[in-house]
Amino acid sequence: MSAKGNSAVGEQGASKRANAAKRPSASPAKAPASPAKAAGTPAERAVKSSAKASATPSAKTAKAAKPAKTESRLGMVRRARKINRELAEVYPYAHPELDFRNPFELLVATVLSAQTTDLRVNQTTPALFARYPTPEDLAAADPEEIEELIRPTGFFRAKTKSIMGLAAALRDDFGGEVPGRLDDLVKLPGVGRKTAFVVLGNAFGVPGITVDTHFMRLARRWKWTDQDDPVKIEAEIAEIFPKSEWTMLSHRVIFHGRRICHARRPACGACPIAPLCPAYGEGETDPEKAKKLLKYEKGGYPGQRLNPPPDYPGRPAPPAVGVSPGAGA
C-alpha cells in the first residue's frame, strides 16, 4: 500500500520537492506551535499549527535546514523523539481503535482487522462475540456460520480458519486463556508479531512496537529507518525510543498515518510534523487543499470504536447504519 502511495504522488513529486526545499522551517530545532495548547478540534489544531509553521519563514530556519542525508544519528534520534512529543500533543487521545472487552476479543478483532478498517471490524464483532464469547465456543463453532458473521471484514474464509484455529489452540494449549508472552502468541494460527504486540501492549500492558503499514510508511518517511522488513524496523525503532514509549508511540504514529500522512496523498500542508519531516512535499502542501485530505477528524470523531470503555480517551465513532452503540458491550 505504501509503495503504491508513494508512486502515486510521483507526478508532482519534483515540483513539490522543490517547494519543500524552499519551505520555511525544515529544521528539527524549529518546532511548530503546540497544537494541544491551541483551541479547536485536533484537525483544526493541526492545520493551525502547520499554517503557523509555514507562515514563519526566516533566514535562520532556512539556513538551519539540512538535507536528511547529512543528519547525524544523534540528530535523527532527537528529531524522532521530538516528533513523538508533537504527536502526543496532536493526538492526546491516541488509543487502540478496535473494540474489545478482554484479551481474547482483542486477539480475534486484530486478526480480523487485516486488509480492512477497524471501524468495519467494530461493526462486525459484536454479533460474533455475542454468539461465541469464549475460545471454547468459537473453536466448536460451525465454520460456515462464522464465515457469514465475519464476511464484511473480507477474506472471511481464511480469517475463519485463523480465528477458529487460534481459539482451538487457546482451548487446547493455554487453558482457554490468551497467553501474555510474545513467544506463545506468535505460535497461534494467524498471529504474527504485529498482532501479538497489539495484544501485549493493549490487553497486558507490555510495551510493544506495532509495525503495521502506517507505521512502516511513516518511519521511512521520517528517516527513522530505511528497512523494509517489519521485524528489522521494529528493532531499529526500539533503539530510538525508551521502552515505556513503545505502545503509545505506535498508536500515535498509526493515528497520524490514518488521519494526515496518508499513503497516496499525505496532507503536508495541514501537518503539524511538517517542520520535522524530511518527506515534506510528498503530498499536498497547500494548506486549504491539504485540509480537505484530513480523515476522521473532519466530523469531530477522533476514534473508530463503537463500544468504548468508560475511560475512553477519544469520542466514539458515529454509529453506522444498522449498528447500535452498546450492541457489543
Q: Is 43 in the site for ligand SF4 (CB under 6 A)?
A: no
Catalytic annotation present for 194: yes
Residue that has been written with the C-alpha cell 539540512 in this structure: 66
Exactly one of 22, 194, 228, 292 is catalytic; name it: 194
For 316, which DSSP code?
P
Distance CA 329, CA 327 (A): 6
Residues 5, 190, 230, 283: which binds ligand SF4 (CB under 6 A)? 283
Q: Is 263 in the site for ligand SF4 (CB under 6 A)?
A: no
Distance CA 197, CA 211 (A): 9
Q: Which is nearer to ligand SF4, 283 or 314 (CB)?
A: 283
Q: Which of 146, 172, 176 is nearest to 160 (CA)?
A: 146
Please say whether the beta carbons of 33 and 48 come within 8 A. Answer: yes
Please say whether the beta carbons of 96 and 198 come within 8 A. Answer: yes
Q: Is 266 in the site for ligand SF4 (CB under 6 A)?
A: yes
46-85 residues near ligand SF4, rule: CB under 6 A: none
Distances in whole angstroms, Cα of residue 197 to Cα of each of 106, 184, 208: 11, 12, 5
**Rounded (10°) CA dihedral 26, 244, 194, 169:** -170
Exactly one of 16, 30, 159, 212 is catalytic; name it: 212
Region near ligand SF4 per CB under 6 A, out of 8-16, 158-166, 231-239, 278-286: 278-286
What does the block give as the cell for 194? Answer: 504485529
Taking CA 124 as the corner, what is the angle to CA 122 and CA 125, rounded to the nearest 5 degrees?
A: 75
165-224 residues near ligand SF4, rule: CB under 6 A: 221
CB of 279 to ligand SF4, least distance (A): 4
Distance CA 196, CA 186 (A): 6
261 carries a ligand binding annotation: yes
Q: Is 112 in the site for ligand SF4 (CB under 6 A)?
A: no
What does the block give as the cell for 70? Answer: 547529512
271 carries a ligand binding annotation: yes
Q: Which is nearer to ligand SF4, 2 or 247 (CB)?
A: 2
Radius of gyration of the chain (CA): 21
Region near ligand SF4 per CB under 6 A, out of 224-232, 247-255, 267-275, 318-326: 267-275
CB of 29 to ligand SF4, least distance (A): 17
Catalytic annotation present for 184: no
203 carries a ligand binding annotation: no
Residue numbers annotated as active site: 194, 212
Binding residues: 261, 268, 271, 277
Residue ranges that bind ligand SF4, judged by CB under 6 A: 221, 260-261, 266-268, 271, 273-274, 277, 279-280, 282-283
Binding residues for [4Fe-4S] cluster: 261, 268, 271, 277
